[in-house]
Amino acid sequence: MFWSALIHLGYNLNLDRAGVHEDKLAARNAPADYFRWAPHLRLDDAVWRTVTQAAADAGVNSLVLGLADGIAYESHPEIAVEGAWSTTRLTEELARLRELGIEPLPKLNFAAGHDVWLGKYSRMVSSAPYYEVAADLIAEVCELFDRPALFHIGMDEEDFELQSLYELAVVRQHELWWHDLDFFAGQVRRGGSRPWMWSDAAWTKAREYYDRMDHDIVQSNWHYDNVFAGDETGRPKTLSHQRQDTYQAYLDLDEHGFEQIPAASTFFTSGNLRATAQFARERLDPNRLLGFLHTTWLPLLPGHLSTHLRSIDEIAEARQAWEGPSA
């Protein structure tokens, strides 16, 4: 099973501009350095080394690396921010992770609300140049990671409400959303990897999602609350980001035969991963459970080091509880 942490090299995933009022950020319960676009890499080398070593020591067996614009891609170097890692540096760091016993897995988020990292191409969604760039990047990353077992393509939170602070809000709907998802997944398969995505579109697409989603796409629903109780009648049903019953998508995915990696976070509360693992043990088919993913949603900077290390500790605690005292 994957006991994995999601950490980020590139961090331009949300706001498409730098000048957002503090009161609006506070209303979204978001740390400013996460939501604001920045022209430079937000990653401290010492924090990177500390966190990755701590992950290895804690028994974390894979790291999902959110690449975004933190890499100077050879196919599209124009995307990279100042200070981005070269592909040579990335290759060296991937080798180091493997030496530590950690399997590195890539993530490029192609959700239209989380793609500011694409630079000018984020304003060309679903156009010919956009598809060409996406295909180039996926192919290059598959090669850099040596045909990784899984490749996370994001595809979460693509709605107008969550882009309310953006200068340009872009939401694909209906057949276009499915077309683009099929395109990204197809490019990942072509590169020799298995596609992986966030599952929150199932909250609003409900029955359509389970009827049309390809079963080879690994699913990661996320429920960042420690309460796993609600009205479960009428499932699958329409849910929302504000409700506490988004955990029910885990049950829907399981019942419809999807393999999944439930996702937890320190973003709102502590102990979320352990609570998620306990729920999974009680309610999900272990044969379709590929592991667990935990994240802080914070950049690898000194001010956030303690949170990253606490997150790693939570993975170790959840794994020990899952495997028993002999682990």
Decide: helix, strand or coil at residue 138.
Answer: helix
Q: What is the DSSP letter of 139?
A: H
The predicted structure's pLDDT at residue 170: 96
Residue 46 to residue 28: CA distance in whole angstroms = 30
Q: At a CB cut-off of 8 Å and minimum separation 6, what does 124 contact?
A: 130
- The tens place of each residue's pLDDT in the chain, 327 residues long, gives 999 999 999 999 987 776 566 666 665 555 566 677 889 999 999 999 999 999 999 999 999 999 999 999 999 999 999 999 999 999 999 999 999 999 999 999 999 999 999 999 999 999 999 999 999 999 999 999 999 999 999 999 999 988 887 889 999 999 999 999 999 999 999 999 999 999 999 999 989 999 999 999 999 999 999 999 999 999 999 998 778 899 999 999 999 999 999 999 999 999 999 999 999 999 999 999 999 999 999 999 999 999 999 999 999 999 999 998 644
Residue 35: count of CB within 10 angstroms of its CB: 16
Which residue bears the tokens 């124009």?
78
Residue 327 to residue 103: CA distance in whole angstroms = 20
| Domains, the chain, with CATH or none | 2-323 (3.20.20.80)
Q: What is the dihedral of CA 301, 303, 305, 311, to 10 degrees?
A: -110
Residue 125 to residue 136: CA distance in whole angstroms = 15
The predicted structure's pLDDT at residue 161: 86
Decide: helix, strand or coil at residue 245.
Answer: coil
Residue 155 to residue 172: CA distance in whole angstroms = 11
Q: At a CB cut-off of 8 Å and minimum separation 6, what does 209 contact?
A: 199, 201, 202, 236
What are the start-end ranges of the E strands in the chain?
2-8, 62-66, 71-72, 85-86, 103-107, 150-152, 194-198, 218-220, 263-265, 291-295
**Cis ω on the peptide bond leading into residue 106 (within 30° of 0)?**
no
Q: Are 220 and 251 in contact (CB under 8 A)?
A: no
The predicted structure's pLDDT at residue 29: 54
Q: Which amino acid is at 309?
A: L
